[in-house]
Chains A and B, each alone.
Chain A
Amino acid sequence: MRAQSSLLLAVAFALGLIGPASAGASEPPGLWTGPMHGEIPATLAGAKVVDAAAVAELKDGGAVLIDVAEFPAKPAGVSSNLPWMPTHMSIPGAVWFAGGGFGDGRPAYQQAFSARVGELTGGDKDRAVVAFCHPGCWGSWNAGKRLVMLGYRKVYWFPGGVEAWEDKYAAAPVKPDRGWEEIRR
């Protein structure tokens, strides 16, 4: 039995199903301004890391869900005069701040984020807020960090993002949040 499970483990490791035990980058002191995709930390100080099931519960409890995935751009090599009109799938009811996870220090961008989250939470710093995008994406980490820095006390970071959600639940197409689009202009 033991030999069998260690063999399974070895196979899983070889297949890349299991990463090294101490996976993840260490937390930067502030917002991350490096490449947006890659190794991300396993934690976020001041926020709770959650999985899809926990997000489902938070959603039912009225949490504000913020998706900061970037707007889907044409894949490399696609050039055609036919229209490119991607649909963005997300957690039903989520608010999509397209490109809202950059560690951009510009005051206008920070104010836009702060203002729109303020509207969505009704200014309640104890309202639960969940930040997510896609796996291996720094955007949601940054969004969570920003929320902590803004003084939100119930910040949840969902690193598994839309993909982890879709593994368990249905996703739905969402449009970019108009409030966010208007404020950040």
Chain B
Amino acid sequence: MKTRLATAIFGLCALGFAAAPALADDPDSPEARQSRWQELEKAVFQGKTAGPSNGVVTLQAPERAEDAALVPMTVTLTPADKVKALWLIIDDNPMPVAAHMVFGPAADPHELKFRVRVNAYTNVHAVAQLQDGSLVADAKFVKASGGCSAPMGEGEEAALKGLGEMRLKLAGAAQPGVPVEAKLMVRHPNFNGMQMNQLTRMYTPARYIDKISVSDGAAKVFDLESGISLASNPVLSFGLVPQASGRLRVEVSDSMNTQWSRDFEILHMTD
């Protein structure tokens, strides 16, 4: 509810309004949502448009989220050829791109799970880039609001404890060459600058994970670029193809240029 106050308080934005397209009469109409998506396509894909998913990319998202600060979303990919990259875009969030992933040779991008913040009733798009460079998208409408301004229950100091700690879980024993699902958890409050400290009434300055890089030996699994839309203490599920090295390196950096890395000996992991 206080989101708009948060976003409005920081003075005039450098962004021009010239890009705003013609107004649909009802700002909440499907036409208005479509025109927002066209603006986004311009900004994110430099004007390239995403075609229908044709079953290649499927987004699962709750119709109405119980907790707008922690909305689970699953993207399923069933391309003929491995996809090159994936975007998860929450159209009406102030920083709409929640995640941009570029997959490497050690990726098995078939199912990806995210937990995100949703600021207002919005369309969410999952966009996959295929090997020929073309884009395909699936969209869902999600009812949730206030996810960006929701303060963390535990308070700032507690939220920053153990910053950058990581855990990794595999769905089964890892064997070289055999795809396996992995779940990565990173401890980080992902402050988005829109959350008010309930005691001081001040906004907690933004500090969020902006990059996660995962490699198995010399082979890249993925590079992920993110903004302020990932939920606090991000959890990300992805598929990978373990390499002979058996060493999965996770590198995380945040918007204050703090970096963390951890190696997981995945061939010898026990639950």
Contact = CB atoms under 8 A, between A and B. Distances in A.
A73 B23 CA distance: 21
A73 B4 CA distance: 11
A21 interface: no
A121 to B, nearest CB: 20
28 contacts: A69-B8, A71-B17, A72-B4, A73-B7, A73-B10, A73-B12, A75-B228, A76-B10, A76-B206, A77-B206, A77-B207, A78-B192, A78-B193, A82-B96, A82-B97, A82-B227, A84-B13, A85-B15, A87-B94, A87-B120, A92-B27, A133-B8, A134-B5, A162-B4, A163-B4, A171-B4, A175-B23, A178-B20
Given A77-B207, A80-B227, A135 B5 contact: yes
A176 interface: yes
A72 B43 contact: no
B17 A86 contact: no
B1 A173 contact: no
Interface string B110-143: 0000000001100000000000000000000000
Contact of B8 (A70, A172, A174): A70
Contacts of A106: none
Nearest to A81: B225
Interface string A56-68: 0000000000000
Contacts of B210: 80
B94 A76 contact: no
B6 A83 contact: no
Given A75-B193, A134-B5, 14 more contacts: A72-B7, A75-B7, A75-B203, A75-B206, A76-B203, A76-B205, A77-B255, A78-B206, A78-B227, A87-B92, A92-B27, A133-B8, A173-B120, A178-B20
Contact of B13 (A72, A137, A166): A72
Greatest chain A CB density within 10 A among B4, B15, B23, B39 is at B4
Contacts of B193: 74-78
